[in-house]
Structure 1
Amino acid sequence: MRFRHRRVAAAAALATAAVVGLPACSAVLDGEESLVDADSLVVGVKADQPGLGLEAENGGFEGFDVDVALYIADRLGIPGENVEFVGVTSAEREEKLLNGEVDMVVATYSITPGRKTQVTFGGPYYVAKQDVLVRAEDTDIQGVRDLDGMSVCQGAGSNSAARITEGLGIPVERVEGETYSDCIAQLRDGRVDAVSTDNLILAGFLAEDPGAFRFVNNPFTDEKYGVGLPYGDIEACEAVNKAISRMYQEGEATEMLDRWFGNTDLEMVHSVPQFEGCD
């Protein structure tokens, strides 16, 4: 069964639950089967982030997030040929889960309290840290506080710049690009002074063009990458967490990380992340 065709009813149930004050998870899952019963999946991944989720010339997708999704699907008993990948932006991840266009999202999807009101998260499958990427020649920027008064680009739907201005109280000019590829293009041609987001995202762009940019390498937040699942699918969440644990214990996670980021100076984490819980 391909679950995206069943999620529209689930999304409607979620909306009804919000209006009448019912528990959302029971409203969504009454009469609905868990993703653990699926024989195929549609997974949302990024399409423009090198090393994480990138659409190749042949129309396929590649990157760490894609590898993680395939590993999880395999542990759920779903072969790779039954996994369909579609590109999603940061701004549309919740929408595509809620309206049933995708069954799962593995797209540098940070777990936050606000998002947990609409999405059940497995994981995290990796804990990244927010850092800063600048042009290679901009040696005066050695830490996030050196961005005071400068322009910083973030992708649409991201909270990265807000963590600098509101979280750390550092006044920067916040510029929003359509995607992080757009931000990197603006950094390359001098329209912005820096791009700040999760270090795995930045490492992917750095690996693609190492001579043009450099890491500030002074991280200042933890970003817990979760596997986005339909709200209330606790059984799938628990199965995903078991798969992630095994992925690290068997060394698969280390191989994936080295494959995509081993030629950068990123300090990677190779131990099982502390899970958020599925309730």
Structure 2
Amino acid sequence: MKVFKAGAAAALAATLALTATACGGSDDKSDKGSGSGGGKKVVIGIKFDQPGLGLKTPDGKYTGFDVDVATYVAKELGYEANQIEFKQAISAERENLIQNGDVKFIVASYSISDKRKAKVDFAGPYFLAHQDLLVRADDSSITKAEDLNSKKLCSVAGSTSAQNVKDKLAPKADLLQQGGYSECLTGLENKKLDALTTDNSILAGYAAQEKNQGKFKLAGLSLSNENYGIGLKKGDKELQTKINAALKKMVTDGSWEKFVKSNFGPANYKNEPAPQITEGS
């Protein structure tokens, strides 16, 4: 009986060892930090609440220009679509996500600025937008930035747009910063807010949604130039070079134009030509 027990114990130990090996994570590779390619999956930061750019739909799918760009770049780095894990990257958390290694790179209407470049690096730019205002369709009181003085203005925390208006254009605006653009849009529709400011590409995406058609309009202002870049860990020159090469290919093979038309076309959005890549050069 003692021999039997010893044999059973050995068999159990062998089984546990095999189980530990199978669950040990050696096959569950996630490529989040520096470097490029080779991982079983890649984690990419995008917006989840920006129609036309980065939107997570109720059925769990992801749509938008930034999603298309991210998927194209990932493929050039060696990842198929089913190897991509999209992670929500709200404006105020983008630098933290990159610095902490929670994502490999971020494609999320991420405007290149000197302040941000002190913390992260960028590839690109891959798109040029302009800051504008979204107002209610029946509101004719806001036609220029100065009209925002004493008005209730909304944007998202961490966005450059809100500070640009407050510092330079309408210092007396009553600025409210929310966690997401959807919250601003609700306030605008309910007349608790007078305007939403951010890039015209983002505003066009919201205005073009079927549920919003006829409710809102763009003021048609160009309050700033916003060059969208792909954010990555500071000092990762290898990844920066590879992403820049992917972005150049995306333009030359016609994919960039296709992505623009499929995502912004329904809103009659007049986009700028693909910008020249300046980061890393």
What TM-score do you get using the length of structure 1 for normalisation?
A: 0.85
Q: Which digits, 9 at most, give the CA deviation of each residue in 1:156-205, with x for residues without a partner?
A: 21121210121235421111112111111111101110001001110110
1:268 aligns with 2:265: no
The match for 2:250 among 234, 247, 269 is 247
Match of 2:279 in 1: 277
Match of 1:172 in 2: 173
3-state SS of the aligned residue for 2:155?
strand
Output the amino acid matched with 1:54: L
Match of 1:25 in 2: none
- Over the aligned positions, Cα root-mean-square deviation in angstroms equals 1.6
Residues 265 and 143 from structure 1, CA distance in 2 versus in 1: closer, same or farther, beyond 3 angstroms?
farther
Q: CA deviation at 1:89?
A: 0.8
Structure 2 unaligned spans of 5+: 1-28
Q: Is the 8 A contact 1:253 1:270 kept in 2?
A: no
Q: Distance in 1 between matches of 2:276 and 2:170?
A: 29
Q: Is the 8 A contact 1:248 1:270 kept in 2?
A: no
Q: Which digits, 9 at most, give the CA deviation of each residue in 1:217-253, with x for residues without a partner?
A: 1112011111011111111111111111121122211
Aligned length: 251
Which structure has the greater CA radius of gyration? Answer: 2
Q: Is the 8 A contact 1:36 1:239 kept in 2?
A: no
3-state SS of the aligned residue for 1:263?
helix
Match of 1:123 in 2: 124
Identity of aligned residues (%): 37
Match of 1:199 in 2: 200
Structure 1 unaligned spans of 5+: 8-32
Q: Distance in 1 between matches of 2:98 and 2:57?
A: 23
Match of 1:13 in 2: none
Match of 1:44 in 2: 45
3-state SS of the aligned residue for 1:107?
coil
Output the amino acid matched with 1:264: A
Q: Which digits, 9 at most, give the CA deviation of each residue in 1:8-36, with x for residues without a partner?
A: xxxxxxxxxxxxxxxxxxxxxxxxx6225
3-state SS of the aligned residue for 1:176?
strand
Q: CA deviation at 1:107?
A: 0.7
What TM-score do you get using the length of structure 2 for normalisation?
A: 0.85
